[in-house]
Structure 1
Amino acid sequence: MPQPWKVLHFLLTPTGAQPLGLTRVFAGVGAAAIGAFSLAMGVWLSSWLEQRMLERDAALSRDFVQSIADIQRVAAFFAKPEGAPSAAVGEFFAHVAAMPDVLRANVYAPDRRVLWSSNAALIGQVFPANEELDEALEGQVVVNAEQGDDHAEKAEHVGLNAAAHRYVENYLPVYEPRSRRMMGVIEVYRRPTALFESIREGQVRIWIGAAGGGLFLFAVLVWFVRRTERAMASQQKRLVEADAMGMVGEISAAVAHSIRNPLGSIRSSAELQRELGQDPQGVHAEVMGHVDRIEHLVRSLLTLAAAPVDSGGQADLGAVLRSAAERFRPQFAADGRSFQCELPSGLGFVAADPVLLAQVVDSLLANAADATGPGQRITLTAGRRGREAWVSVEDTGAGIAPQHLAEVFKPFFTTKPRGLGLGLNLVKRLVERQGGRVELASQLGEGTRVTLQLPLR
Structure 2
Amino acid sequence: MQQTLEDPVFPKTARLPGAGLAVPLQEFNLLRWFSVISLLIITTVAGSLGYVSTRFVVRDSVERDAMLTAQFIQAMAQAEVRHSLLPPGTTLGELLDPRLDLQHLQVTPALAASTRVEFLDHVAHLPDTLLANVYARDRTIVWSTNDALVGKRIGEDGDLERAFRSRKAVSASYHKAEDGREEQRFERDPQYLFIENYIPLFDSQGEQVLAMVEIYKEPQDLIRRIQRGYVLIWASTLLGGALIYFGLFWIVRRAAQMLQHQQARLVASETYVALGEMSSAVAHSLRNPLANIRSSAELAEQIANPQAQKNLHDVISQVDRMSRWVRELLVSLRPTSEHPEAVDLVAAIEDTHLAFAHQIQRNGVRFCFEGPQAQWVASQPLQLTQILNSLFANALEAMPKGGELRAQVSVLEGLRVQLSLSDTGKGMTQQQERMVFKPFFTTKQGGLGVGLALVKRIMERFGGTVSLTSREEEGTRVSLTFNSAAGGDHGAEHPGSRG
Give the TM-score category using the shorter length: 0.7 to 0.9
Code of the residue aligned with 1:66 in structure 2: it is Q
Give the 3 Å change call, closer, same or farther, for CA 377–61 of structure 1 in structure 2. same
Structure 1 CA distance for aligned equivalents of residues 9 and 145 of structure 2? 93
2:321 pairs with 1:293: yes
- Distance apart, 1:91 and its partner CA: 1.7
Match of 2:495 in 1: none
Distance 2:343 2:303 in 1: 42
Q: What residue in structure 1 maps to residue 161 of structure 2? A: 134
Structure 1 equivalent of residue 12 of structure 2: 15
User: Where do 1:170-319 residues align within 5 Å?
Assistant: 170-176=197-203, 179=206, 181-264=208-291, 290-319=318-347
Contact 1:380–1:394 (CA<8 Å) still a contact in 2? yes
Which residue, 452, 472, 491 being the options, matches 1:424? 452
Matched residue, 1:59 = 67
Q: Distance in 1 between matches of 2:162 and 2:8?
A: 81
Distance 2:38 2:343 in 1: 53
- CA distance in 1 between counterparts of 2:230 and 2:483 reads 59
- Name the CA shift for 1:367/1:18 in 2 (closer, same or farther; >3 Å): farther
8 Å CA contact 2:77, 2:92 repeated in 1: no
- The alpha carbon displacement at 1:367 in A equals 0.8
Q: What is the 5 A alignment of 1:350-369? A: 350-369=377-396
Shift of 1:405: 0.4
Q: Give the 3 Å change call, closer, same or farther, for CA 97–372 of structure 1 in structure 2.
A: same
In the superposition, the TM-score normalised over structure 1's length comes to 0.86
Partner secondary structure for residue 274 of structure 2: helix
177, 188, 195: which is aligned to 1:162?
188
1:63 aligned partner, one-letter code: Q
Deviations 1:107-155 (A, max 9, x none): 233343444333455445432112112121121322233434x2x4233
Q: Secondary structure at the match of 2:233?
A: helix
CA contact 2:93–2:202 (8 Å) conserved in 1: no
C-alpha contact 1:114 1:124 (8 A) present in aligned 2: yes
| Secondary structure of the corresponding residue to residue 252 of structure 1 | helix
What is the aligned counterpart of 2:425 among 397, 402, 409? 397
Shift of 1:177: 5.5
Match of 1:145 in 2: 174
Aligned partner of residue 126 in structure 1, secondary structure = coil
Shift of 1:278: 6.8
Deviations 1:392-416 (A, max 9, x none): 3222111112221001111111121
Structure 1 counterpart of 2:359: 331
| CA-CA distance at 1:35 after TM superposition | 3.2
Aligned to 1:68: 76
The 8 Å contact of residues 130 and 217 in structure 2, kept in 1 or not, is answered as yes
- Could you tell me whether the CA contact under 8 Å between 2:131 and 2:184 is conserved in 1? no
Task: Specify the SS of the correspondent of 1:332.
Answer: helix
Of 438, 441, 450, 2:478 maps to 450
Q: 12-21 or 326-335: which moved more?
A: 12-21
Structure 2 residue aligned with 1:411: 439
Higher RCO, Cα 8 Å, sep 6+:
2
Offset from partner CA, 1:180-238 (integer Å, 9 cap, x none): 65432211122222222221221122222222223223322322332222122212222
Q: Please report how far the alpha carbon of residue 297 of structure 1 lies from its aligned counterpart in structure 2 after TM superposition.
A: 1.7
Q: Which amino acid aligns with 2:385?
A: A
Give, as a single letter, the amino acid of the residue that structure 2 aligns with 1:445: E
Please tell me the residue identity of whatever aligns with 1:408: V
SS at match of 1:82: helix
CA distance in structure 2 between the aligned counterparts of 1:124 and 1:334, rounded to whole angstroms: 120
Map of 1:92 onto structure 2? 119
Contact (CA 8 Å) 1:329, 1:339: kept in 2 or not? no
Q: For 1:113 and 1:173, locate their aligned partners in 2 and report how far apart those are by CA, in whole Å.
A: 14
Aligned to 2:410: 383
- Contact 1:248/1:301 (8 A) holds in 2: no
Distance 2:228 2:473 in 1: 67
Distance 2:222 2:9 in 1: 73
- 1:103 counterpart residue number: 130
CA RMSD of aligned residues (A): 3.2
> CA 1:332/1:50 → structure 2, altered by over 3 Å: closer, same or farther?
same
Cα distance between partner residues in 1 of 2:365 and 2:479:
21
CA distance 1:111–1:456, shift in 2 (3 Å): same
Greater shift in the superposed pair: 74-83 or 282-291: 282-291
- Distance in 1, matches of 2:26 and 2:337, equals 31
Alpha-carbon distance, 1:23 to partner: 3.2
Gaps of at least 5 residues in structure 1 are none
Deviation of 1:49 (Å): 2.1
Q: Compare 18-27 and 330-339 and name the one that shifted more.
A: 18-27
Gap change, CA 1:331 and 1:124, over 3 Å in 2: closer
Point out the more displaced range, 277-286 or 437-446: 277-286
Q: Is the 8 A contact 1:380 1:392 kept in 2?
A: yes
CA contact (8 A) 2:7 2:438 kept: no
- Conserved 8 A contact 2:94-2:211: no
Residues in 1 aligned to 2:279 and 2:448: alpha-carbon distance in whole angstroms: 13
- Distance (whole Å) between structure 2 residues aligned to residue 105 and residue 112 of structure 1: 14
> Deviation digits for residues 24-44 of structure 1, max 9, x if unmatched?
444444434433443343333
1:306 shift after superposition:
2.8
Cα distance, 1:366 vs. partner? Answer: 0.8
SS at match of 2:481: strand
What are the within-5 Å matches in structure 2 for residues 117-132 of structure 1? 117-120=144-147, 122-132=149-159
> Which runs of no fewer than 5 residues in structure 2 stay unpaired?
14-24, 103-108, 486-499
The answer to whether the 8 Å contact 2:424/2:476 transfers is yes
| Larger mean Cα displacement after TM superposition, 48-57 or 174-183 | 174-183
Q: What amino acid sits opposite 1:443 in the alignment?
A: R
2:188 corresponds to which letter in structure 1? A
Segment of structure 1 superposing worse, 26-35 or 432-441: 26-35
Residues 1:396 and 1:108: Cα distance change in structure 2 (over 3 Å) = same
